[in-house]
């Protein structure tokens, strides 16, 4: 049984296989109407539980559509409906769900909730997001970069802003896919030191550069995310804006990167905060390809977990 919990916990050859299969499945769908099932139906007679303690648009739709395209069925469950860990324990929930479904995708707050689900489930568990990491997003990002520019190995990737869960998974990916990564942002929002150390231990360069203009020099890809969470109180939002204002992605910063550099954002974006509309809608941006590729990358992840 194979869980997909984090990029650094998955063998690089398996990660590469998922990216390659995602590209094949996307190409096979080219030109077909959106609702058309895949020619292959690898998830036929499979039931997938999609658990959302956190609200979602892209994760919910992309997983749901992906399962249906591959011939499977979904059961969408919210945290409020399940009362995860409040009534029945997470361990018991995992044991019970495993009797009903073939695969569990979970989008939750605490990483410990995901890990406990995986420990006690007897079916594969996929990390749809935790407060600590977001591996499915980064699989889509790697796929998107390579669609546009070829192999990401050896390239320079810059993350600007908050060293959050998406940033963490991008750092994990650096070590697994062989690209260098530079974080630029305020010290109070640095990514976890152990993640940077892990990437460096795998032979890539994972560094911090406080000056965003210097960080962007020679970049092949620049990535950012929203500065605030929907759950943050207003005082926290104001504090984060003050801290991060100097790390906005704008034309001046993109001009420091390589001429063919790409820009990514996992969305939703707050235009004119972390990124200007000129960049979002400009020639460097591949944000909507990136959003689409969540569907294809996650289909490949599900197939890998189930071995189909």
β partners of residue 126: 4, 105
Cβ–Cβ < 8 Å for 286, 263: yes
The backbone torsions φ and ψ at residue 281, rounded to the nearest 5 degrees and listed phi first, read: -100, 5
Q: How far apart are CA 143 and CA 66, in angstroms?
A: 16
Q: Please give the angle made by the CA atoms of 248, 253 and 256, to the nearest 5 degrees.
A: 155
Q: How far apart are CA 5 and CA 8, in angstroms?
A: 9
Is 252 an annotated catalytic residue? no
Q: How far apart are CA 155 and CA 245, in angstroms?
A: 27
Among candidate residues 8, 58, 107, 240, the one labeled active-site is 107
Is 107 an annotated catalytic residue? yes
Is 305 an annotated catalytic residue? no
Is 148 an annotated catalytic residue? no
Among candidate residues 132, 172, 240, 294, the one labeled active-site is 294
Among candidate residues 3, 132, 134, 303, the one labeled active-site is 134
Is 294 an annotated catalytic residue? yes
Cβ–Cβ < 8 Å for 128, 106: yes
Among candidate residues 8, 225, 298, 303, the one labeled active-site is 225
Among candidate residues 137, 176, 248, 298, the one labeled active-site is 137
Q: How far apart are CA 178 and CA 29, in angstroms?
A: 29
The backbone torsions φ and ψ at residue 128, rounded to the nearest 5 degrees and listed phi first, read: -85, -10
Is 134 an annotated catalytic residue? yes
Annotated active-site positions, please?
Answer: 107, 134, 137, 225, 266, 294
């Amino acid at each position: 049984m194979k869980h997909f919990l984090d990029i650094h916990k998955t063998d690089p050859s398996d990660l590469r296989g998922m990216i390659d299969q995602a590209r094949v499945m996307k190409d096979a769908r080219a030109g077909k109407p959106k609702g058309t099932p895949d020619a292959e139906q690898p998830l036929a007679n499979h039931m997938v539980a999609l658990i959302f303690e956190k609200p979602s648009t892209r994760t919910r739709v992309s997983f749901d559509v992906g399962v249906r395209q591959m011939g499977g069925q979904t059961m969408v469950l919210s945290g409020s409906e399940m009362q995860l860990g409040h009534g029945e324990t997470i361990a018991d929930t995992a044991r019970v769900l495993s009797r009903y479904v073939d695969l569990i995708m979970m989008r939750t707050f605490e990483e410990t909730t995901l890990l406990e689900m995986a420990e006690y489930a007897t079916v594969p568990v996929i990390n749809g997001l935790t407060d600590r990491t977001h591996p499915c997003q980064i699989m889509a990002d790697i796929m998107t970069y390579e669609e546009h520019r070829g192999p990401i190995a050896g390239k320079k990737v810059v993350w600007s802003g908050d060293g959050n869960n998406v940033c963490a998974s991008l750092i994990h990916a650096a070590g697994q896919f062989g690209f260098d990564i530079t974080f630029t942002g305020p010290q109070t929002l640095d990514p976890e030191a152990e993640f940077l150390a892990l990437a460096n231990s795998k032979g890539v360069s994972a560094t911090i550069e406080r000056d965003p203009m210097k960080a962007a020099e020679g970049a092949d890809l620049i990535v950012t995310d929203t500065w605030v969470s929907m759950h943050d109180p207003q005082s926290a939002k104001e504090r984060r804006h003050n801290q991060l204002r100097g790390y906005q992605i704008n034309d001046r910063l993109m001009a420091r990167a390589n001429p063919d550099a790409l820009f990514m954002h996992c969305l939703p974006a707050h235009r004119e905060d972390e990124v200007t509309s000129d960049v979002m809608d400009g020639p460097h941006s591949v944000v909507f390809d990136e959003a689409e590729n969540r569907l294809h990358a996650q289909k490949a992840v599900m197939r890998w977990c189930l071995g189909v």
